[in-house]
């Protein structure tokens, strides 16, 4: 992914899978062409700056083996040949449709009240429980009192990196530890969030959600990284070795049949800012139907703050959420636990402990 500056100080072009999309900074912020991010006016700098030719590196070794369904058994391992198979061999009609709401970046005055409007008391799951989301927090411009309030309300708090470096994939182990574990410690210190409430535990992941999927007819289900990933990797930074027991909740591409608005891993990266709320609602419904009508893979809706800076997009999302009240909206961490085929995700030894029951 690359980002280039646009003539307007709050607009910029963002490339996703080789396609440029016009995007805009949140209200009051300007695009910094040096750091490739939105920031305050007095901190934004113009580019371009001289660049050096990237060193030639050897392609990563493909160390992970192909999926072995005999050895890879739920609830601690799951893989399939192409990633589209429903876990447990269930028929589509017997599979509950999950919807995952995720939000990336700092939480602050630009977005906090808008996020709260998504999670109203009136929006509940079919079992009466309130809907919840997952927030992947970054450090810069973050209000940690607001993060603490989100955690108190039952939302899942995950971590991005401290500095959101564009080239972190080229860094070594120590840099990754500093960025990821450092962000966890910042959350613990400033938001009073314990390690058990953050996605990272010790130096390992419970799950990751950073692998993008190109547009496919059938969405990809979450899988564990015990084996080779079951889909094409266009970014060049996908895992190539085994990480036993670590779940990947992939970023399936969002798109409609006509490709109106393009395709995007994050919904705010699709070009929908010329649509009215009804158009946005219909676009989301068509995108969602590909999951519901095909293989019921979890419908993940990732957002940055940008989505909530346009009233039409925000209103369209609210219309869509009200339409999906018959579905389940859960956090990523709950998602594997709530599948009816998981059985015993917490290792209690109680058979069928996690069996799906919408009445509970």
Domain assignments of the chain as residue spans, ordered by start: 2-43, 87-338
Q: How confident is the model at residue 5 (pLDDT cuts 50, 70, 90)?
A: very low
Q: What is the pLDDT of residue 294?
A: 93
Where is pLDDT greater, at 116 or 54? 116
Q: How confident is the model at residue 284 (pLDDT cuts 50, 70, 90)?
A: very high
Over range 75-93, report the average pLDDT: 88
Distance CA 233, CA 225 (A): 14
Where is pLDDT greater, at 234 or 180? 234
Residue 209 has pLDDT above 60, yes or no: yes
Q: What is the pLDDT of residue 171?
A: 56
Where is pLDDT greater, at 245 or 332? 245
Where is pLDDT greater, at 207 or 168? 207
Q: What is the pLDDT of residue 135?
A: 94
Q: What is the pLDDT of residue 253?
A: 95
Comparing CA positions, the residue from 48, 47, 45, 50 lying closest to residue 32 is 45
Over range 298-306, report the average pLDDT: 94
Where is pLDDT greater, at 7 or 263? 263
Q: How confident is the model at residue 8 (pLDDT cuts 50, 70, 90)?
A: low
Neighbours of 75 (CB within 10 A): 21
Three state DSSP letters for the chain: CEEEECCCCCEEEEEECCEEEEEECCCCCEEECCCCEEECHHHCCCCCCCCCCCCCCCCCCCCCCCCCCCCCCCCCCCCCCCCCCCHHHCCHHHCCCEEEEEEECCCCCCCHHHHHHHCCCCCECCCCCECCCEEEECCCCCCHHHHHHHHHCCCEEEECCCCCCCCHHHCCHHHHHHHHHHHHHHHHHHHCCCHHHECEECCEECEECCCECCCCCCCCCCEEECCCCCCCCCCCCCCCCCEEEEEECCECCECCCCCCCCCECCHHHCCCCCCCHHHHHHHHHHHHHHHHHHCCCCEEEEECHHHHHCHHHHHHHHHHHHHCCCCEEECCCHHHHHCCCCCCCCCCCCCCCCCCCCCC
CATH homologous superfamily for 87-338?
A: Glycoside hydrolase/deacetylase (3.20.20.370)
Q: What is the pLDDT of residue 344?
A: 43
Residue 288 has pLDDT above 80, yes or no: yes
Residue 154 has pLDDT above 50, yes or no: yes
Q: How confident is the model at residue 46 (pLDDT cuts 50, 70, 90)?
A: confident
Q: What is the pLDDT of residue 245?
A: 84
Q: How confident is the model at residue 303 (pLDDT cuts 50, 70, 90)?
A: very high
Give the least confident one: 31-45, 126-140, 238-252.
31-45
Q: What is the pLDDT of residue 293?
A: 93
Where is pLDDT greater, at 188 or 197? 188
Over range 3-30, report the average pLDDT: 62
Q: How confident is the model at residue 356 (pLDDT cuts 50, 70, 90)?
A: very low
Contact 229, 238 (CB under 8 A): yes
The sign of the torsion formed by the CA atoms of 218, 219, 222, 226 equals: positive
Residue 355 has pLDDT above 50, yes or no: no
| Cβ neighbours for 345, distance < 8 A, ≥ 6 positions apart | 75, 336, 337, 353, 354
Residue 2 has pLDDT above 50, yes or no: no
Neighbours of 293 (CB within 10 A): 9
């Amino acid at each position: 992914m690359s980002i280039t500056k646009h003539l307007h100080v709050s607009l910029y072009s963002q490339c996703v899978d080789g396609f440029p999309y016009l995007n805009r900074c949140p209200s009051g912020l300007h695009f910094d062409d040096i750091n490739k991010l939105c920031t305050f006016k007095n901190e934004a700098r113009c580019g371009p700056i001289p660049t050096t030719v990237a060193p030639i590196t050897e392609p990563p070794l493909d160390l992970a083996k192909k999926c072995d369904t005999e050895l890879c058994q739920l609830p601690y391992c799951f893989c399939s040949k192409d990633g589209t198979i429903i876990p447990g061999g269930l028929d589509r009609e017997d599979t509950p449709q999950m919807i995952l709401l995720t939000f990336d970046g700092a939480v602050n005055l630009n977005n906090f009240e808008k996020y709260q409007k998504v999670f109203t008391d009136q929006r509940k799951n079919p079992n009466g429980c309130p809907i919840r989301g997952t927030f992947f927090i970054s450090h810069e411009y973050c209000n940690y009192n607001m993060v603490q309030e989100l955690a108190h309300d039952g939302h899942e708090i995950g971590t991005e990196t401290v500095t959101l470096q564009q080239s972190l994939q080229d860094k070594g182990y120590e840099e990754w530890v500093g960025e990821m574990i450092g962000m966890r410690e910042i959350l613990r210190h400033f938001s009073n969030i314990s390690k058990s409430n953050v996605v990272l535990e010790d130096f390992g992941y419970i799950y990751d959600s950073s692998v993008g999927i190109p547009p496919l007819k059938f969405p990809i289900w979450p899988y564990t990284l015990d084996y080779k990933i079951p889909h094409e990797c266009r970014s060049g930074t996908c895992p190539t070795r085994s990480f036993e027991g670590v779940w990947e909740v992939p970023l399936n591409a969002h798109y409609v049949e006509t490709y109106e608005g393009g395709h995007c891993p994050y919904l705010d990266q699709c070009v929908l800012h010329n649509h009215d709320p009804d158009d946005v609602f219909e676009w989301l419904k068509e995108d969602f139907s590909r999951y519901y009508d095909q293989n019921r893979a979890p419908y993940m809706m990732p957002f940055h703050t940008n989505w909530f800076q346009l009233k039409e997009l925000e209103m369209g999302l609210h219309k869509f959420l009200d339409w999906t009240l018959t579905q389940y909206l859960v956090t990523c961490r709950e998602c594997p636990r709530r599948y009816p085929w998981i059985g015993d995700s917490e290792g209690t030894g109680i058979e069928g402990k996690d069996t799906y029951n919408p009445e509970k």
